């Protein structure tokens, strides 16, 4: 229960912070650097997109990690 509450709070914070970036559209307040390779796993590049503010950068960062997996019981 406590872990679920913490996760819900973190998601709410991330959505609050990410909303201006998502809504910016044509008047972007940031520069997007797509597909930055941060590591490799079994020959596959692990990538992320980096959003850098165009002005008033204060050194703070938000790391949004989406995890999941896919598996098959066949075979």
Q: How far is CA 52 from the centre of its chain?
A: 13
Asked if 37 and 47 touch (Cβ cutoff 8 Å), the reply is yes
pLDDT at 51: 87
pLDDT at 57: 86
- The domains of the chain are located at 2-53
pLDDT at 40: 92
* Model confidence band, residue 67 (pLDDT cutoffs 50, 70, 90): confident
35 Cβ contact partners less than 8 Å away, ≥ 6 residues apart: 47, 48, 49
Per residue in 5-49, pLDDT (tens digit) is 787 777 777 666 666 655 555 677 888 899 999 899 899 998 888
- pTM, two decimals, is 0.49
């Amino acid at each position: 229960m406590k872990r679920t509450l913490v996760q819900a709070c973190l998601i709410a914070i991330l959505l609050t912070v990410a909303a201006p970036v998502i809504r910016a559209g044509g008047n972007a307040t940031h520069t997007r650097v797509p597909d930055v390779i941060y590591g490799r796993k079994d020959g596959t590049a692990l990538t992320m997109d980096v959003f850098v503010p165009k002005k008033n950068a204060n050194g703070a960062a938000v790391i949004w990690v989406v995890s999941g997996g896919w598996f098959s019981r066949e075979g």
